[in-house]
Chain A
């Protein structure tokens, strides 16, 4: 069964540094998402992306965050200047259509020191 793959599985970064989290969505999917889960809390929506542009974003997704689909397969989340509170699991998801369930990757654990 096709999978969403995320790299790296664990990223350790100094506070204030930029970080890029990478995702390869399922190949024929058109809708892409980033979520995060802070330890002990809910999975929270960050952003959705369709047709090469952001379609919706949460209040968490401020100017420090950006997303990009640089080629036909990758979908990235960039945090420009990381803060301690950015430490979390970041999940990428993709969906084939508007009425299709989202399929998640196994996440990247981001640790900010």
Chain B
């Protein structure tokens, strides 16, 4: 089941620079997308989401971009901070139903001080 794909297992970025995490999806029924952050020994923490009727959503240092025609979304973190070092999961769900969320495998971000 590869409905949500994160092709980069890891990413290293210098502190203060931009981090860009990418995600592709194959299920055209997905209409709501989420990013979760996960530290070791903790559960996923909700970060930011975007509905399919938008192409951008911003929350502080975090911006998510959605390109529906390409079935691609990305998370931008600017400026990156060492505390952002974590695994980032892209996730998606369809409307209706009870919000079953489909996760990608995650990208491990390391922000180097």
Question: In A79-109, which residues have CB < 8 Å from any B CB?
Answer: 91, 93, 95, 98, 101-107
State the CA gap A45–B101 with chains docked (Å): 7
A-B pairs under 8 A by CB, number: 55
- In the complex, chain B residues whose CB is within 8 Å of the CB of A95: 99
Chain B positions 48-63 with a Cβ under 8 Å from a chain A Cβ: 49
- CB-CB under 8 A from A43, the residues of chain B are 44, 89, 103
Which of A11-19, A48-56, A70-78 makes up part of the contact surface?
A: A48-56
Of A43, A50, A55, A103, most B-chain CB atoms within 10 Å: A43
B-side contacts of A103, CB under 8 Å: 46
What is the interface of chain B mostly: helix, strand, loop, or mixed?
loop
B113 interface residue (CB < 8 Å to A): no
Q: Please, how many angstroms separate the alpha-carbon atoms of A93 and B91 in the complex?
A: 14
B43 engages A48 (CB within 8 Å): no
Scoring A residues 57 to 79 as 1 if CB is less than 8 Å from chain B, else 0, what string do you get?
01000000000000000000000
Query: Are B44 and A56 neighbours in the complex by a CB distance under 8 Å?
Result: no
Q: Compute how far the CA of A90 lies from the CA of B41 in the bound complex, rounded to whole angstroms.
A: 12
Chain A residues lying within 8 Å of B89, measured Cβ to Cβ, are 43
Say whether B105 contacts A45, CB under 8 Å: no
Other-chain residue from A44, A55, A98, A106 in contact with B43 (beta carbon distance below 8 A): A106
Q: How far is the CB of B16 from chain A (nearest CB, A)?
A: 28
B98 and A56 contacting across the interface, CB-CB below 8 Å:
yes
- How far, in Å, is B68 (CB) from chain A's closest CB? 19
The answer to whether B41 and A106 touch across the interface, beta carbons within 8 angstroms, is yes
A105, B105: Cβ atoms under 8 Å? no
Q: Which residues of B contact A104 (CB under 8 A)?
A: 36, 43-46
Give the top 4 A-B pairs by smallest Cβ distance, nearest first.
A104-B43, A55-B98, A48-B98, A43-B103
13 examples of A-B residue contacts, CB within 8 angstroms: A4-B43, A6-B43, A31-B98, A33-B99, A35-B103, A42-B106, A43-B44, A44-B103, A45-B100, A55-B98, A91-B43, A106-B41, A107-B43
